């Protein structure tokens, strides 16, 4: 099994979308990319931690590749809106790829460049590509939140 960490707005919808991808074994929502140790949802929403709402994906690379997960990431959100997805605004909703190794960094950069060159968007792709830092799991009530509520579509 391998892992990937992405941020693409409200983690509830991102988690729901990736949980439906064949080869994704587990999803965990949480916080990463900031300075505060073991932040709470309220702290992250307070915009003082530097963390993004993110998802840690455990996947079987024999069923889905990291490149395919990157393609899904681009499909699941608008990578041209800085610190915003739909009505959600703030740095915690930024678009980001947190790479876990050099191979992931190379693939993320190539995937972003390919998307930019496709001219799919009139605005530039603002997705940050950064080394992964400590991933802090969100509170239990956030895990699989939409599925627990019987909601089968993402927020945006």
Tell me the torsion sign for CA atoms 29, 35, 38, 43. negative
Q: What is the pLDDT of residue 143?
A: 97
**What is the CATH code for 2-148?**
3.30.1060.10
155 labelled catalytic? no
Calpha distance 153→156 (Å, rounded): 8
37-57: average pLDDT: 95
155 band by pLDDT with thresholds 50, 70 and 90: low
Check 10, 64, 73, 115 and give the catalytic one: 10
How many angstroms separate the Cα of 156 from the Cα of each of 15, 76, 93, 124? Answer: 13, 9, 13, 20
Place of tokens 């693409």: 8
**59 beta partners:** 2, 24
Q: What is the pLDDT of residue 3?
A: 98
């Amino acid at each position: 099994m391998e892992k990937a960490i992405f941020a693409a707005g409200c983690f509830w919808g991102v988690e729901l979308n990736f949980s439906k991808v064949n080869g994704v074994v587990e999803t965990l929502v949480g916080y990463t990319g900031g300075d505060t140790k073991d932040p709470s949802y309220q702290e992250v929403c307070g915009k003082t931690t530097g963390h993004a709402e993110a998802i840690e994906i455990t996947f079987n690379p024999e069923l889905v590749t990291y490149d395919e997960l990157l393609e899904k990431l681009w499909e699941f959100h608008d990578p041209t809106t800085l610190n915003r997805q739909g009505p959600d605004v703030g740095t915690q909703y930024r678009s980001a790829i947190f790479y876990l190794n050099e191979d992931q960094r190379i693939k993320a950069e190539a995937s972003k460049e390919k998307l930019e060159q496709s001219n799919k968007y009139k605005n530039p792709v603002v997705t940050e590509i950064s080394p992964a830092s400590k991933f802090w799991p969100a509170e239990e009530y956030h895990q699989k939140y939409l599925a627990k509520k019987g909601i089968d579509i993402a927020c945006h």
